[in-house]
Copies of this chain bind each other. A is one copy, B any other.
Amino acid sequence: MAYANAFAALADPTRRMVFERLGKGPQAVGAIAETLPVSRPAVSQHLKVLKEAGLVSDRAEGTRRIYYIDPEGLGQMRAWLDRFWDTALAEFGAEVARDNLKRKDAK
């Protein structure tokens, strides 16, 4: 059920930007905020959501907090998506075949 929070977390554009920023490497909160069009508290709130979703972790470094991507959340999302992948491909193929038949009949 944890993937639920992950999807919700990555649904917001700004929060996705925060996450993508961490894809370039670990960053402090202020450093992230500087590159984004929102205030630092907003970034803090986004990081909190991402952390609760298992998408990021953090460590203290003096007075700063360094955030980095946690594979946990990513893995759960991938697992969930993969549950649909194979069957979706098969079903879609069947639908396309049905569609081709119809077009043929129309001729």
Binding site for B on A (CB under 8 A): 4, 7-8, 10-11, 13, 16, 19, 23, 25-26, 57, 59, 68-71, 74, 77-78, 81-85, 87-89, 91-92, 95, 98-99
Contacts and interface: CB of A to CB of B under 8 A. Distances in A.
B25 A4 contact: no
B74 A25 contact: no
Given A74-B84, A81-B78, A84-B23, A59 B95 contact: yes
Query: Interface residues of A: mostly helix, strand, loop or mixed?
Result: helix
Contacts of A10: 7, 11
A89 B81 CA distance: 19
Given A68-B95, A69-B87, A77-B81, 11 more contacts: A8-B11, A10-B11, A11-B11, A23-B84, A23-B88, A68-B92, A69-B88, A74-B81, A74-B84, A77-B77, A78-B78
